[in-house]
């Protein structure tokens, strides 16, 4: 019943105010930001929901419905899955209505005190990685499927989403966190060359460079203790480097600069 009510609200937002203009003339920003890039199996982690930025704060917002999708094969929703940020710009005189079903997370919000203005985290979703994840490294996207809002005078507010991703790790041999002691990766940030140096004699079997969109941009199969990578053709941004060895998997964040 609650889920049906949320979808009715979405329809009202889409069609009941179809003649209104967008707030501020441009779409607002909503971001998902995971608390970790890499998460072992059977581990709690969270995803922050962030509205606006310091440069482009939310101008006016009185109500919204947010729909998020996760991969339930590798991640499950915690019992208390949504915790509002009581110090956010939305917290004063407001109410949240979260709902979760089969990997679909709906969060509706309504201000009891007119339009709200500001930016920052409005709360976090609590998630748990499954304990029977197949393989040793599973990429799990967490995506905003839609978000619509409106102001107190029924002006439609549209949002442009930025999603996040985590890697669920099932350690084999040496636990993943200990592998940090076995490799050095430098320079980081880099504008071209990236050096992966082995400190303890593990055999590197493969290396993947993965974007935050989940796409593998570079992949090499090797049998060596160290390797040099050339990243000059990659767009600037944040990537994950995944080093597969004969003892386990090492994953770290790499920043590609201009």
Which CATH number is 7's domain given?
Answer: 2.60.40.680
* Same domain membership, residue 78 and residue 19: yes
Higher pLDDT, 210 or 31: 31
Mean pLDDT confidence for 70-83: 81
Q: Which range of residues forms the domain containing residue 218?
A: 176-256
Rounded to the nearest 5 percent, the helix, strand and coil shares of the chain are 10, 55, 35
Over the stretch 188-224, which tens digit does the pLDDT of each residue have? 899 999 999 888 888 888 998 988 767 889 999 988 8
**Calpha distance 45→144 (Å, rounded):** 18
| pLDDT tops 80 at residue 81 | yes
Is the pTM here over 0.75, yes or no? no
pLDDT of residue 249: 76
Instruction: Select the more confidently predicted residue: 128 or 16.
Output: 128
For 94-136, what is each residue's pLDDT tens digit? 678 888 877 788 999 999 888 999 999 999 999 888 877 666 5
CB 243 within 8 A of CB 250: yes
For 154-170, what is the mean pLDDT?
Answer: 87
Query: What span, in angstroms and rounded, lies between the C-alpha atoms of 182 and 201?
Result: 8
Residues 22, 107 within the same domain: yes
Tell whether 147 and 235 lie within a shared domain.
Answer: no
Q: Is pLDDT above 80 for 228?
A: yes
| Domain C-terminal end among 126, 152, 169 | 169
Task: List the strands of the sheet with 204-211, edge to edge.
Answer: 216-224, 204-211, 237-245, 249-256
Same domain, 61 and 6: yes
Rg (CA), the chain: 21
Q: How confident is the model at residue 72 (pLDDT cuts 50, 70, 90)?
A: confident
Q: How large is the average pLDDT for residues 76-86?
A: 83
Same domain, 32 and 128: yes
pLDDT score for 92? 67
Residues 212 and 252 in one domain: yes
Give yes or no: residues 150 and 192 share one domain: no
Question: Residue 4: CB partners within 8 Å, gap ≥ 6?
Answer: none
Show Cβ contacts of residue 233 under 8 Å, excluding neighbours closer than 6 positions.
none
Q: State what percent of residues in the chain have pLDDT above 70.
A: 81
DSSP 190: B
Task: Count how many domains the chain has.
Answer: 2
Q: Residue 243 belongs to a domain with what CATH number?
A: 2.60.40.3080
Instruction: Report the mean per-residue pLDDT for the chain.
Output: 81
Q: Do 17 and 54 fall into the same domain?
A: yes
Q: Which residue in 223, 220, 257 sits closest to 239, CA to CA? A: 257
Where a domain ends, among 124, 151, 169? Answer: 169
- The answer to whether 185 and 199 are in contact (CB under 8 A) is no
Q: What percent of the chain has pLDDT over 90?
A: 31
- Last-in-domain residue among 109, 137, 169: 169
Q: Are 182 and 247 found together in one domain?
A: yes
> Using the 8-state DSSP alphabet, how is residue 99 labeled?
E
My answer on whether 40 and 103 are in the same domain is yes
């Amino acid at each position: 019943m609650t889920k049906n009510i949320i979808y009715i609200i979405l329809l009202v937002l889409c069609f009941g105010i179809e003649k209104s203009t967008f707030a501020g003339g441009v779409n607002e920003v909503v971001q998902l930001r995971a608390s970790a890039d890499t998460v072992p199996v059977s581990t709690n982690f969270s995803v922050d929901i962030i509205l606006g930025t310091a440069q482009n704060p939310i101008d006016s917002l009185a109500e919204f419905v947010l729909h998020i999708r996760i991969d339930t094969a590798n991640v499950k929703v915690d019992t208390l899955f949504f915790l509002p940020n009581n110090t956010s710009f939305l917290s004063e005189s407001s109410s949240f209505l979260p709902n979760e079903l089969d990997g679909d997370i709906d969060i509706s919000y309504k201000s009891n005190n007119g339009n709200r203005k500001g930016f920052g985290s409005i709360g976090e979703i609590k998630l748990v990685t499954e304990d029977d994840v197949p393989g040793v490294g599973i990429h799990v996207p967490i995506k905003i499927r839609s978000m619509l809002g409106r102001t107190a005078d029924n002006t439609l507010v549209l949002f442009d989403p930025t999603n996040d991703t985590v890697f669920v790790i099932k350690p084999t041999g040496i636990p993943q966190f200990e592998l940090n002691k076995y490799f050095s990766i430098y320079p980081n940030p880099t504008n071209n060359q990236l050096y992966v140096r082995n400190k303890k004699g593990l055999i590197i079997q493969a290396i993947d460079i993965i974007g935050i969109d989940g796409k593998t941009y570079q992949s090499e199969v090797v049998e060596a203790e160290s390797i040099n990578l050339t990243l000059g053709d990659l767009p600037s941004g944040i990537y994950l480097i995944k080093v597969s060895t004969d003892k386990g998997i090492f994953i770290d964040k790499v920043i590609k600069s201009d």
